[in-house]
């Protein structure tokens, strides 16, 4: 089965740029989606199809994907960005199954 | 656009439970819908997907043969029938719409979730 690998934690100071990676075999050929989840809340999509933003998501959130790595970049990080972030793709190699990365806890110092 | 789950609760191992998801604010019959769960303190795990017309249904290996997803486009509702429940099925269960009409896509929006606890 397809596996997505994320770092468990990333720390960044306010105003700086946070980079969260998501590794997977040839992930650059998939459509990668990213979600933000704050404690006690449902996840919210912040990036879809590698690098597009849903309406209402700040331009500070951006994404890219190439080769075996997808990246979520959060510019000018704010305290309110502290959350868990998950990447997700669809594995259609055999039966169809959605796959999530293990999640990355973003801490704003 | 809103999704509201219901039906969660405490159930004994081996028991059954039916979750429901009520949709509003969009053309329900045009989108595939998914169930995603999250065990306490753990990450997200996809459970099942049903296409817009119900013609295509997919399950995670962990629930295949025990869970059944269904939808009623006339009532804008989605169900998840869970049989032979195990303690490891304990989780918050979210329903989540595909973000796009065509294809599988990402998940947007999500409901608020309903808690299922499997314990004796």
DSSP state of A52: B
pLDDT digits (tens, 9 = 90+) for A33-52: 999 999 999 999 999 999 99
CA distance B57 to A84: 29
Binned at pLDDT 50, 70 and 90, residue A30 comes out as confident
Contact B43 A102 (CB under 8 A): yes
Of B62, B11, B96, nearest to A95 (Cα)? B62
CA distance A17 to B42: 26
Cβ distance A28 to B96 under 8 Å?
no
Contact B113 A42 (CB under 8 A): yes
pLDDT tens for chain B, residues 1 to 120: 999 999 999 999 999 999 999 999 999 999 999 999 999 999 999 999 999 999 999 999 999 999 999 999 999 999 999 999 999 999 999 999 999 998 889 999 999 999 999 999
pLDDT value at position A91?
92
Q: What is the mean pLDDT of residues A61-65?
A: 97
Contact B105 A102 (CB under 8 A): no
- How far does CA A104 lie from the centroid of its chain? 8
Q: Confirm or reject contact between A44 and chain B (CB < 8 A).
A: yes
Could you say which of B34, B56, B100 has the minimum Cβ distance to residue A98?
B34
Give the chain B residue whose CA is nearest to the CA of A8.
B43
Query: What backbone torsions phi and psi does residue B63 show, to the nearest 5 degrees?
Result: -125, -5
pLDDT value at position B103?
82
Contact B113 A96 (CB under 8 A): no
Tokens encoding B67: 């869970």
Q: A86 to chain B nearest CA, in Å? A: 8
Contact B94 A86 (CB under 8 A): no
CA distance B17 to B116: 9
Binned at pLDDT 50, 70 and 90, residue A32 comes out as very high
pLDDT digits (tens, 9 = 90+) for B23-53: 999 999 999 999 999 999 999 999 999 999 9
Cβ distance B78 to B49 under 8 Å?
no
Q: Which of A98, A99, A100, A102 to mutate to test the interface with B (most CBs of B within 10 A)?
A: A98
């Amino acid at each position: 089965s397809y596996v997505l690998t994320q770092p468990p934690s990333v720390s960044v100071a306010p105003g700086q740029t946070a980079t969260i990676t998501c590794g997977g075999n040839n992930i650059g050929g998939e459509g990668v989606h990213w979600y933000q989840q704050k404690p006690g809340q449902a996840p919210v999509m912040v990036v879809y199809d590698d690098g597009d933003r849903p309406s209402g998501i700040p331009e500070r959130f951006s994404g890219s994907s190439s080769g075996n790595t997808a990246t979520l970049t959060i510019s000018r990080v704010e305290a309110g960005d502290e959350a868990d972030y998950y990447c997700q793709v669809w594995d259609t190699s055999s039966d169809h199954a959605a796959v999530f990365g293990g999640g990355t806890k973003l801490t704003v110092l | 656009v809103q999704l509201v789950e219901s039906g969660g609760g405490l159930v004994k191992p081996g028991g059954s439970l039916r979750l429901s998801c009520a949709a509003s604010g969009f053309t329900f019959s045009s989108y595939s819908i998914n169930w995603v769960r999250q065990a306490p303190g753990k990450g997200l795990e996809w459970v099942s997907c049903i296409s817009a017309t119900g013609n295509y249904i997919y399950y995670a290996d962990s629930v295949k043969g025990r869970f059944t997803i269904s939808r009623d486009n006339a009532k804008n509702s989605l169900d998840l029938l869970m049989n032979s429940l195990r303690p490891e099925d304990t989780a918050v269960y979210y329903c989540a719409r595909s973000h796009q009409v065509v294809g599988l896509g990402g998940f947007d929006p999500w409901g608020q979730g309903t808690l299922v606890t499997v314990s004796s």
